[in-house]
């Protein structure tokens, strides 16, 4: 078995023998059939790239799975990518998260960063800042500069940790010293806000140098970041002409990818037209490129296309088209849109009312950890709306939501969670009505949320300044 693998390896590289992908595949296959994991991995790569065999991602995935079950954290990460993006396999976020988790447990930094980002965003898995912090920290503890930078970012904005600019600077500095451009820029910005002009300019200048290096190597994100720095004169002499040149380089690369049919390139080009970054803002062009990307299954494009049809930007307003694209995004696991569809079906606004469909989408979002959806599922059980009335089931879902809100309200100091707890006590949703407790939670959220201030004033008469209500 080992000798067959080594012979395949020799044919693959041409080491001491005439190079032949066909012969390499033949010997790798013999070793792979006997369970040799390195051969399974190498043969999988050959099938994915079509080297010496007919290209087959399906066969590559089969071989990757066999090898991944025996180890190979990097391979587990690759399987996660294939399932997340549906590359010639049926897209499955559950499978993607499973493989990312297995890789992360073995210390694979790529998997730790990817999984942390998924937990932080909370789009396809329940948002969990504690898990995001844990995974970013694990990567950072092993010296991964992305982990160091993201820990700084979390401390700066207070996500999953107590907000601390001092802690943010510590993490940013470690990543910045290692040459990570985003950390250098973030550190410059943080110091700029503290009016430490000289130190701020030093880090802006380092960021500009790092971005310039990456920009010259064709990194479009670096080109755009450097262009922005020239626009505002951060660390470089302000120059609209230079900014325009860099945006032009980025757009040329992105447009080439978009014209080749790359959905990520199409979505990026659409975003630039939508925001007017480096191009003249054009909602019509944004719609065109988002549509091309969305039709290829790009979830980000599908979501933005739904928004454009809902708001009538770049096209005639159409709830029918908006809901069509929202449904695709929801079916792809976007929790927030699953909740939105539930609300649309329940209200009957812009779509034929269906309590059954509303409950179905609420339940999907609730099962994936969204507390607002849990409250709706509890309400449907309490009132017997399209399900058998069950106070026991209602309380179960209300309690689940309450536990999540309590954790977010206390540990993460989340004002929205505080407001929602206030509303639960205010209206007696899943708990005994208590105006005293409602006031306590509204008061905690009132510094941030105008709607909390408004309700607090209604209950107590407290004269608090407030902006426009969010609802």
pLDDT reading at 463 higher than 70: no
Q: Are 274 and 240 in contact (CB under 8 A)?
A: no
Q: For all residues of the chain together, what is the average pLDDT?
A: 89
Read off the pLDDT of each residue in 416-420 and give the average, rounded to a whole number: 81
Read off the pLDDT of each residue in 324-349 and give the average, rounded to a whole number: 92
- If 0-12 CB within 10 Å is exposed, 13-18 middle and 19+ buried, where does residue 464 land? middle
pLDDT reading at 416 higher than 90: no
Contacts of 356 (CB under 8 A, 6+ apart): 386
Q: What is the pLDDT of residue 394?
A: 87
Considering 1-10, 91-100, 353-362, 437-446, the range whose residues carry the highest mean pLDDT is 353-362
Q: Are 416 and 387 in contact (CB under 8 A)?
A: no
Full-model pTM: 0.72
Q: What is the pLDDT of residue 427?
A: 87
Task: Average the pLDDT over each of 268-272, 336-340, 420-424 and give the range with the smallest value.
Answer: 420-424
Contacts of 14 (CB under 8 A, 6+ apart): none
Q: What is the pLDDT of residue 392?
A: 87
Q: What is the pLDDT of residue 449?
A: 86
Which CATH number is associated with domain 261-333?
1.25.40.10
Read off the pLDDT of each residue in 52-67 and give the average, rounded to a whole number: 90
Contacts of 392 (CB under 8 A, 6+ apart): none
- Please state at what angle helix 335-347 crosses helix 371-383, rounded to 10 degrees: 30
The percent of residues in the chain predicted with pLDDT above 70, rounded, is: 97
Residues 262-280 pLDDT 10s:
998 999 999 999 998 888 9
Read off the pLDDT of each residue in 129-156 and give the average, rounded to a whole number: 95
Q: What is the pLDDT of residue 398?
A: 86
Residues 145-201 pLDDT 10s:
999 999 999 999 888 888 899 999 999 999 999 999 999 999 999 999 898 888 999
Q: Between 353 and 407, name the one with better pLDDT.
A: 353
Residues 442-460 pLDDT 10s:
998 888 888 889 999 999 9
Q: What pLDDT band is residue 469 in, cutting at 50, 70 and 90?
A: very low
Residues 28-59 pLDDT 10s:
999 999 989 889 989 999 998 999 999 998 89
Residues 276-317 pLDDT 10s:
888 899 999 999 999 999 998 888 999 999 999 999 999 999
In order of 90, 218, 248, 265, 273, the CA distances from 252 in angstroms are 32, 10, 6, 11, 13
pLDDT reading at 470 higher than 70: no
Tokens 């296959």 identify what position?
Answer: 29
Rounded CA separation 398/393 (Å): 9
Rounded CA separation 418/413 (Å): 8
Helix (H, G, I), strand (E, B) or coil at 468: coil
Rounded CA separation 56/296 (Å): 20
Tokens 């999540």 identify what position?
Answer: 404
Rounded CA separation 240/333 (Å): 41
Contacts of 198 (CB under 8 A, 6+ apart): none
Read off the pLDDT of each residue in 346-354 and give the average, rounded to a whole number: 93
């Amino acid at each position: 078995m080992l000798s067959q693998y080594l012979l395949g390896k020799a044919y693959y590289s041409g080491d001491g023998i005439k190079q032949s992908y066909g012969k390499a595949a033949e010997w790798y296959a013999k070793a792979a059939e006997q369970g040799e994991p390195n051969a399974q991995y190498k043969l999988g790569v050959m099938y994915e790239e079509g080297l010496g065999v007919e290209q087959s991602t399906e066969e590559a995935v089969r071989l990757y799975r066999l090898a991944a079950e025996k180890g190979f954290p990097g391979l587990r990460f690759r399987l996660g990518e294939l399932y997340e993006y549906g590359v010639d396999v049926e897209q499955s976020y559950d499978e993607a998260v499973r493989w990312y988790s297995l890789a992360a447990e073995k210390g694979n930094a790529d998997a730790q960063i990817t999984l942390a980002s998924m937990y932080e965003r909370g789009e396809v898995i329940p948002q969990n800042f504690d898990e995001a912090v844990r995974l970013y920290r694990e990567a950072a503890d092993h010296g991964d500069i992305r982990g160091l930078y993201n820990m700084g970012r979390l401390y700066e904005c207070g996500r999953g940790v107590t907000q601390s600019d001092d802690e943010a600077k510590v993490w940013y500095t470690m990543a910045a010293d290692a040459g990570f451009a985003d950390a250098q820029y973030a550190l410059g910005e943080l110091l700029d806000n503290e009016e430490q002009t000289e130190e701020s300019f030093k880090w802006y200048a380092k960021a500009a140098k790092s971005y310039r290096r990456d920009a010259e190597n064709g990194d479009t994100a670096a080109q755009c970041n450097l262009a922005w720095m020239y626009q505002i004169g951060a660390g470089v002499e302000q120059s609209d002409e230079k900014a325009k040149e860099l945006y032009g380089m980025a757009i040329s690369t992105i447009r080439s990818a978009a014209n080749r049919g790359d959905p990520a390139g199409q979505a990026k080009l659409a975003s630039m037209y939508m925001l007017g970054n480096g191009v003249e803002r054009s909602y019509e062009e944004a719609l065109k490129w988002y549509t091309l990307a969305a039709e290829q299954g790009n979830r980000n494009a599908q979501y933005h296309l739904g928004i454009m049809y809902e708001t009538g930007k770049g096209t005639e307003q159409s709830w029918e088209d908006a809901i069509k694209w929202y449904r695709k995004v929801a079916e792809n696991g976007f929790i927030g849109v699953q909740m939105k569809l539930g609300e649309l079906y329940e209200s009957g606004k812009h779509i034929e009312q269906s309590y059954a469909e509303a409950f179905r989408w609420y339940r999907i979002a609730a099962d994936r950890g969204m507390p607002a959806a849990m409250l709706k599922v509890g309400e449907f059980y309490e009132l017997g709306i399209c399900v058998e009335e069950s106070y026991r089931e209602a309380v179960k879902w209300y309690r689940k939501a309450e536990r999540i809100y309590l954790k977010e309200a206390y540990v993460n100091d989340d004002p929205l969670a505080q407001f929602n707890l206030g509303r639960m006590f205010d209206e007696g949703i899943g708990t005994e009505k208590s105006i005293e407790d409602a006031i306590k939670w509204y008061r905690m959220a009132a510094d941030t949320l105008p709607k909390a201030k408004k309700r607090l004033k209604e209950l107590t008469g407290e004269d608090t300044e407030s902006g426009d209500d969010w609802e």
